Amino acid sequence: MTDLLKIYQELQEKKWVNLSHQIREDSPHFPALPALEKKDIFTLKDGFHVQQFSVVGQYGTHIDAPIHFVEGGRWLGEIELKDLFLPVVVIDKSKEVTENPDFILGKQDILDFEAEHGQIEPGTFCCLSIRLVQALAKSISYAQSG
């Protein structure tokens, strides 16, 4: 058995968490960006279903390329796929955001997380879960003022 097959089999036994959600015309997005637009080009009456989507790149669950924030940073096409395979931790602050829509994650929150779960190792991808979709369903504004 090859090493890759062993790794694959081991990964199949692990817990997988889907962090994505479907984008629709009414999906939450930064107000300065246009909403997703879609239209049917062909329908099943034509024998197959084809849709056309118009959406900005920074919409829904996505990866921001370093060039998005840093002059001279890399474009997504310049990032090796293996560089996107990282250990991950998820800091869940959905309760705090539900109670306070203006909640801001601070250093102490990270230290508290590490006290409970262990030190976050260098190179770890850190995710902040605020369960935005659920929060928006409760009328918490996506873009807080101030």
Is 47 exposed, middle or buried (CB count within 10 Å of its CB: 0-12, 13-18, 19+)? Answer: exposed
Contact (Cβ atoms closer than 8 angstroms) between residue 133 and residue 127:
no
Catalytic residues: 68
Rg of the chain over Cα atoms, rounded to whole angstroms, equals 20
| Residue 35 vs residues 11, 31, 65, 77, 145: alpha-carbon distances, Å | 37, 8, 21, 25, 20
